[in-house]
């Protein structure tokens, strides 16, 4: 989902559709005729509801874990950029100035170009060319002392880590739940709510409350999964705060 309004509309539509289905079912198949089958319906609803609850809980855990991992990788990527900027102080000129300028460009590009692209569902690529230039600057440095040689090795190590974290971010920006899993979640939710509506009871208010609560819980869970399953796109996503902090550190006097 893109915004809160869409979330509310989806939840409201699901709840209303569930209640309308209950009303239609009561009209076509009165509760008096369903009540003798409550024992059979009851254990079927219990098994179906338990199975779907396990699937729903597992998917929520999976997407939330994925979001946390993406957030951690962004922090590591931003920290690697800061480390490269600081290590560049130990390189000879002109590689020192050039590499530090490239780190500033990397951070600015990530914030100003790549995060908006990822928010729109696009896979960014601009920092790839900057990263290649950073490699060239580090490799072409000509250390004049063992200290500078050690610094160069550390810079190359950080550049390798930066490449790994950046690649992970790009892969996660394009990652999403497979269609087959969405089919399982949606069909399972519809079947579970429909099964709950078949339970026969003489209290219309109680049945309405049960169907309302059940459909609300299912729709809230599905909306939460939809909001989280793409770490860099949607209402809940990984922000660029880590790169904002990196920019502050780099630009600090």
Domain boundaries defined on the chain: 4-251
Residues 119-122: contacts with CB under 8 Å, at least 24 apart:
119/232, 119/233, 119/237, 120/233, 121/230, 121/233
Peptide bond into 94 cis (omega under 30): yes
Residues 221, 109: contact at Cβ < 8 Å?
A: no
131-152 burial: b if 16+ Cβ within 10 Å, else e: beebbebbeebebeeeebeebb
Residue 121 Ramachandran class (φ > 0 left, ψ -120 to 50 alpha, else beta) = left
Integer-rounded Cα Rg, in Å, for the chain is 27
Tokens 């560049």, located at residue:
88
| Residue-level pLDDT at 204 | 78
**Structure tokens belonging to residue 91:** 């390189």
DSSP one-letter string for 179-234: HHHHHHHHHHHHHHHHHHHT---S-HHHHHHHHHHHHHHHHHHHHHHHHHSSTTSS
SS3 (DSSP) at 178:
coil
pLDDT (tens place) for every residue of the chain, 253 residues total: 567 888 999 999 999 999 999 889 888 888 777 777 666 667 677 888 889 999 999 999 999 999 999 999 999 999 999 999 999 999 998 999 999 999 999 999 999 999 999 988 888 888 999 999 999 999 998 888 898 899 999 999 999 999 999 999 999 988 888 899 999 999 999 998 888 888 777 777 888 888 899 899 999 999 999 999 889 988 889 999 999 999 999 987 6
Q: What is the pTM of this model?
A: 0.84
């Amino acid at each position: 989902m893109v915004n809160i309004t869409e979330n509310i509309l989806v939840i409201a539509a699901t709840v209303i559709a569930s209640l309308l289905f209950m009303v239609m079912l009561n009209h076509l198949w009165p509760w008096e005729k369903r009540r003798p089958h409550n024992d059979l319906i009851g254990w079927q609803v219990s098994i179906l509801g338990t199975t779907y609850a396990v699937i729903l809980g597992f998917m929520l855990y999976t997407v939330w874990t994925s979001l946390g991992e993406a957030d951690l990788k962004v922090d590591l990527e931003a920290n690697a950029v800061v480390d490269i900027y600081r290590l560049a102080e130990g390189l000879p000129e002109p590689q020192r100035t050039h590499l530090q300028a490239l780190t500033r460009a990397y951070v600015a590009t990530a914030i100003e170009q790549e995060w908006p692209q990822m928010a729109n569902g696009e896979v960014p690529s601009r920092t790839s060319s900057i990263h290649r230039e950073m490699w060239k600057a580090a490799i072409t440095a000509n250390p004049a002392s063992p200290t500078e040689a050690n610094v160069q090795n550390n810079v190359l190590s950080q550049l390798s880590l930066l490449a790994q974290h950046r690649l992970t971010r790009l892969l996660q920006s394009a990652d999403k739940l497979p269609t087959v899993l969405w089919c399982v979640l949606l069909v399972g939710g519809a079947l579970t709510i429909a099964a709950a509506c078949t339970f026969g009871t003489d209290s219309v208010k109680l049945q309405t409350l049960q169907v309302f609560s059940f459909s609300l819980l299912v729709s809230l869970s599905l909306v939460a999964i939809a909001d989280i399953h793409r770490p860099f796109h949607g209402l809940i996503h990984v922000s660029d705060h880590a790169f904002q902090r990196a920019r502050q550190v780099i630009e600090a006097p």
